Structure 1
């Protein structure tokens, strides 16, 4: 019985620890000087990604692996 409770507790902790894994490492900072109209500029101090967003608050996803098209 104790083993079953331990497994259930471990599963719950693992679920909450990894549910937002894509955003967990990003720490977005707003830079109002680089805003463009209604688009707000954010820079991640953890991975160096830069992004514009039109929603309230920082981007929800990590943009580190998002690249532009090759020339």
Structure 2
């Protein structure tokens, strides 16, 4: 497996872990009785973090690869 593929796999796993953690937090907050709007905001923040991480990782890989 190439270094680039390992890096993408690592980013994907990290994204899955972040979303799973946010899902657990949202579930706990909903059980406690906080609003659905707050839960959606938390989930949106998680998606933004994962998307940003993917963009940064792909731009770093583009800089590292010789052309």
TM-score by length of 2: 0.34
Structure with the bigger percentage of helix: 2
**What is the TM-score of this pair, normalised by structure 1?**
0.33
Structure label with greater radius of gyration: 1
Which structure is higher in strand share?
Answer: 1
